Amino acid sequence: MDDRNATAVKESFQRAFSEAKAAFGDGSLFVEKFIERPRHIEVQLLGDNHGNLVHLYERDCSVQRRHQKVVEIAPAPAFPAETRKKILDDAVRIAKYVGYNNAGTVEFLVDKKGNYYFIEVNARLQVEHTVSEEITG
């Protein structure tokens, strides 16, 4: 980072701190990593009351307009097998850890290097479930 960018970042933090302090009485800030052009990957899960939990593979929901999904593709095209296995295993691991038993979706962002970042779990059957049904029968 050059000096000009460092100065801009410092000024932005100071401005954000001041705005938060004025609006909420607390200047605490939360910083997230910026991921340039990530892929939005979702893993559909099904769990029962007996501890059984399976994934129904992944969907690529990266094509969006105004944060609304426009196209969902399954399986995710040009998705490295190693990353696919890790993300599917981790989605199941997350759900098992909390004793999940329902239909649900674990969502991740994946960067260009194949690193992935947990976004959220949606504890419901999503509209995109039909895309998963097409590839799993």
**Active-site residue numbers?**
124
Distance from C-alpha of 15 to C-alpha of 11, rounded to nearest angstrom: 6
Q: Give the tokens for residue 26.
A: 């607390």
Q: Report the candidate in 122, 117, 93 with the shortest Cα–Cα distance to residue 106.
A: 122
Element (H, E) at 70: strand 68-73
Query: 33 Cβ partners below 8 Å, 6+ apart?
Result: 117
The torsion angles phi and psi of 33, rounded to 5 degrees, stand at -70, 135
HEC letters along 72-112:
EECCCCCCCHHHHHHHHHHHHHHHHHCCCCCEEEEEEEECC
